[in-house]
Amino acid sequence: MVEALVDGDLLDRGDDGLLRCFWGGGTPEYRAYHDNEWGRPVHDDPRLFEKICLEGFQSGLSWLTILRKRDAFRRAFAGFDPVLVAAFGPADVERLLGDASIVRHRGKIESTINNARRACELIEEEGSLARYVWQFEPPVDARPPVVTHAWLMEQAHTEASRALARDLKRRGWTYVGPTTVYAFMQAMGLVDDHLEGCHARPRVELARRSLGLCPR
């Protein structure tokens, strides 16, 4: 595969001398998330459920807000175990609405509980959430000769994210639009969108190859 060139301002060199995707070095939280999590393949159902729920909570907010509240979200939502969250009822909704450590949005809270129930149905049908999600891994997509800001903005959603979003909605999931789903796909490694030259990209690609995933 011919590696794409990257528009110069899309990579940021940190004070540690390492090149990162332009968004990955702004704060310590972003740096740790970019370097150690984003794009790495995930096959654990609670982690997958957490990632898709947090992408839904992020809608209209900055991802930094979610990162800083992530431990609180995990406490509030029983570690994002779909079985446990599926058992939440009206009293839990009120409890969560009173919890200032998370994002107190009734629609997103109720969506998380609904989606936990839908996840349990899906796990019963498919065997695991991971088995279902990884069916939507897209084929290798050739990047353009030069990756630019304009091209990246067009990647807000893709054919694969639209297909996954449609199927989740058909199954009754909410807060799973194609843009949210694409961010989930990036976060859990269904695609690797680390840019060429980013120091994390080789390690992510190695993790993908070790699982037999197609390189991008």
SS3 letters for 62-85? CHHHHHHHHHHHHHHCHHHCHHHH
Q: Which of 98-112, 144-158, 201-215 is predicted least confidently?
A: 144-158
- In this prediction, residue 146 carries a pLDDT of 54
List pLDDT tens digits, range 194-205: 888 899 999 998
Q: Which pTM was predicted?
A: 0.88
List pLDDT tens digits, range 92-119: 999 999 999 999 999 999 999 999 999 9
Residue 14 is which amino acid? G
Residues with catalytic roles: 33, 55, 63
Residue 34 is which amino acid? H
Residues 18, 138, 5, 24, CA torsion sign: negative
CA atoms within 13 A on the CB side of 146: 6
- pLDDT of 40 above 60: yes
